[in-house]
Amino acid sequence: MLLKFIGYRLLQLIPLLFVVSILVFFVIQLPPGDFITTYVSELENAGIAVSESHIQHLRDRYGLDQPFFVQYASWVQNIIFHGDLGRSFNWAAPVSEVISGRIGITMLIASLTLLFTWAVALPIGIFSAVRQYSVFDYIFTFIGFIGLAIPNFLIALIILFAVFTTTGVSLTGLFSPEFIGEPWSFAKFLDMLPRLWLPVVVVGTASTAALIRVTRAMLLDELQKQYVITARAKGVSEKKLLFKYPVRVAINPLISTIGWTLPTIIGGEIIVSIVLNLPTTGPMLLRALEFQDMYLAGGFLLIISVLTVIGTLISDILLAWLDPRIRFGGVEE
């Protein structure tokens, strides 16, 4: 039955991804003008005259004079049959080549941030629920509200300032000067590891604070239910009682957030990457949006959208594995 449920969900992804691709391509063309408009404007501001014939030549070269659906069909066809996301106007290179240099570091930071978020949020959320209104509960609640209220980039600036003023060490960047721009090697990887903790902690602060509140609230609700009261009255130990049912039920909402947590982490690291000078996809996406580099921006947005869909699929599978009622209901729809 679980395999049938997974197959059912996979079939739903095909029309969903098709609709997502249309929306992504539509969104990246919403701003007035295009890359050629921005490019010509920059040249004219620099005092360089551009003829109409040259502008038309550029539009013909990049296919920007074609109707919307013609451009979309060509884009999707290249993605499906050739794995080609298009060509970046600003970088004058295929989008896949432009992204490949940074997507690995971005996914590494996002994955570590997700693990950090769960590893910190679950124990604290459970402890706060079990020790409701204790000193530790108030402390964790206060820290959680601080984490939700302060933007990630501001936390990064505070940590950078505090460390630099006390030790004189700058924490920006992921590599030492001698490894910047060098090809990957084991020595470069080892050099990066001690510098990963800052972006992981900073990017994961808001998600961790939110999950702490969700875990605490859900577990408090479960601990008030009749089956818990009955089990406690029968003498079931608190540890066994806590982890056998209430915690399993309470983490269901956390599992359901996988679909948006990973894309949120990737999207939320844009400003943090600029502040910390990280070689991730965030600054590149911002530059693509500024210069209306539609295929590069569309490639990023499509990747983030696909991650959301895949994350939601993983959430559905895990929830169906934990709770058969979800599995049966999903197949019978």
- What would the pLDDT profile of 95-127 be if each residue is shown by its tens digit? 888 888 788 888 888 888 888 888 898 899 999
User: Is 40 found in the same domain as 7?
Assistant: yes
Residues 248 and 132 occupy one common structural domain: yes
234 lies in the same domain as 319: no
Within this chain, do residues 21 and 156 fall inside the same structural domain, yes or no? Answer: no
Please give the pLDDT value at position 259: 66
Read off the pLDDT of residues 303-314 as tens digits, 9 standing for 90 and up: 888 877 887 788
* CA gap 72, 69 in Å, rounded: 5
> What is the residue range of 76's domain?
1-90+292-333
- 284 and 333, same domain (yes or no): no
Inside any domain, residue 96: no
Same domain, 185 and 106: yes
85 plus 153 within the same structural domain: no
Digit-coded pLDDT (tens) for 175-186: 888 888 788 888
Domain match, 156 and 225 both: yes
Shared domain check, 222 and 136: yes
pLDDT in tens, 147-184: 888 888 888 888 888 888 888 877 888 888 888 878 88
Tally of domains within the chain? 2
12 occurs within a structural domain? yes
Same domain, 282 and 296: no
Q: Would you say residue 187 lies in a domain?
A: yes
Q: Are residues 234 and 110 in the same domain?
A: yes
Q: Residue 35: which of 82, 79, 92 has the closest Cα?
A: 92
